[in-house]
Amino acid sequence: MATLFFGLGFSSQASARAMRASGGFAPIYGTVRTPEKAIALTGEGVTGLVFDGAQASREVSEVLRGGTVGHVVLSIAPDADGDPVLREHRADLDADSALEWLCYYSTVGVYGDFGGAWIDESAELVPRNMRSDYRVVAEQQWRDYAAERGVPLCILRLAGIYGPGRSSFDKLRDRTARRIIKPGQVFNRIHVEDIARVTTLAAQKRLAGTFNMADDEPAPPQDVIAYAADLIGMDVPPDLPFETAEMTPMQKSFYRDNKRVSNRAIKTALGIEMLYPNYRAGLAQILESEQ
């Protein structure tokens, strides 16, 4: 039973590796934006298909209309016109007679700000930026489509993603790490290997529903930077008050949301604990993988 990833980014690549290693999901296809990136996937066990989100892809159409794709994982950000996959390839999905499971990577940004309080999937959605507004719309588009097709849909609302090659270590080493202090602020995180594992298990069970993907311990961002610096013997960057720190509008937008996101539902649904339940465990794994 083939698997198709729309948007073969950091999380999707990890999930593709995990699904391939588990067996039962071959062949695996993944869309990228350029032919060069598709060629680079050769030898990694994934067949690259070119889809830039702006127009339909002949390669994607042929794969879907072949009637062998049972699992589709969606990781392309929506825009003001909705989800690009549904916009450009809905008819091809309709033609995929093998389709039995959909997974949509969303974001915990759909919740907005809760003043640092704990929330779960029942919380009201009050996003604080257009990116998250688009996600709320896209989630519903996929719920409607899955209901029409009669196939299970698993929505995973991802917290801030980190992992090897994308962590506080990298920011410290390239001198871009900053300890911006906003009293009471916490961020939610998830290790990329936990996303990969959950995606694989959810596909095996054809899990349906909406679930948060975060670790067990939301934490102040400055604490993570300090801990990472200590692990690799670097100086801890100085404190920068939030009120005076220079940031882009996008960077500032992250500090508008302050909440503690519960992951209990996904752990209960799959009968698991997180591989990396907090940033300390996750950073230790990254450092071990480097060595």
Give the pLDDT of residue 183.
97
**Are the CB atoms for 228 and 170 separated by under 8 Å?**
no
pLDDT digits (tens, 9 = 90+) for 26-57: 999 999 999 999 998 877 889 999 999 999 99
Fold of the domain built from segment(s) 2-162+189-216+258-276: Rossmann fold (3.40.50)
For the chain, list residues with pLDDT below 70: none
Give the pLDDT of residue 42.
78
Give the pLDDT of residue 41.
87
Give the pLDDT of residue 44.
84
